[in-house]
Homo-oligomer: A and B are copies of this chain.
């Protein structure tokens, strides 16, 4: 795809991203965490892997300049721009129904894992394994020995951009977390602007 769309609060969307294309994700309201996955377009068994990326990264957290690699160690995304304070997470699993039940939710709750499965289904793919996502704008200072997830430090309009290093399917989920401060102390999931060029 090329063009722009609004990733609605609490929802996910999957789309193709051709090698060489640029993906720009704008934190429109400043407080929204975006769970991000990438799969090889011709074989979704190959996916962007945080634990493989870390082996080859020269940084302990995901920052501008990071080359994200697949579970087969091939280059997937190049993190080319970041106007935010540069705080993102790659240590924590995507939220899921179990997470919300453990937080006290008794009803079904929107969640990033189901958003991934649903978004991929909508473009004809069935996901069995939910890889650890790249959690854009998530403020989880684990490197400082702090195991809590804090409100984002990003500001309205901050954006990140990636160049595709292979023909990919990208899935983004505007995290529906409203039972913790992941998406800000207001606990209100918000829309996110996405541009592909």
Residues of A within 8 A of B (CB): 45, 49-52, 54-60, 71-73, 91-93, 96, 98-99, 102, 128-130, 132, 142-143, 145-147
A72 and B92 contacting across the interface, CB-CB below 8 Å: no
**Which of A55, A58, A92, A129 counts the most B-chain CB atoms under 10 A from its CB?**
A55
Contact with A132, one of B72, B132, B146 (Cβ below 8 angstroms):
B132
Chain B residue numbers with a CB within 8 Å of A146 are: 60
Measured CB to CB, the closest approach of chain B to A109, in angstroms, equals 14
Cα A49 to Cα B143 in complex, Å, equals 19
Q: Are A60 and B145 in contact (CB under 8 A)?
A: yes
- Specify which of B73, B91, B96 is in contact with A91 (CB 8 Å cutoff): B91
* Inter-chain contact A72/B98, CB cutoff 8 Å: yes
Whether A92 lies near B142 (C-beta < 8 A) is no
Considering only CB atoms, which chain B residue lies closest to A72 in the complex? B98
Chain B residues near A128 (CB, 8 Å)?
Answer: 45
Tell me which residues across on chain B come within 8 A of A99, comparing CB atoms: 55, 73
Closest Cβ–Cβ distance, residue A61 to chain B (whole Å): 9
State whether A51 touches B132 (Cβ < 8 A).
yes
Asked whether, in the complex, the Cβ of A73 is within 8 Å of the Cβ of B60, the reply is no
List 23 A-B pairs, Cβ < 8 Å.
A45-B128, A50-B51, A51-B92, A51-B93, A54-B93, A55-B99, A56-B102, A57-B147, A58-B147, A60-B143, A60-B145, A60-B146, A71-B93, A71-B129, A71-B130, A72-B96, A73-B98, A73-B99, A73-B102, A91-B91, A132-B132, A143-B143, A143-B145
- Given A45-B128, A132-B132, A60 and B92 contact (CB-CB distance below 8 Å): no
Contacts of A92 in B (CB 8 A): 51, 54-55
* Assembled-state Cα–Cα distance A99/B72 (Å): 9
For the complex, what is the distance from the CA of A146 to the CA of B128, rounded to whole Å?
33
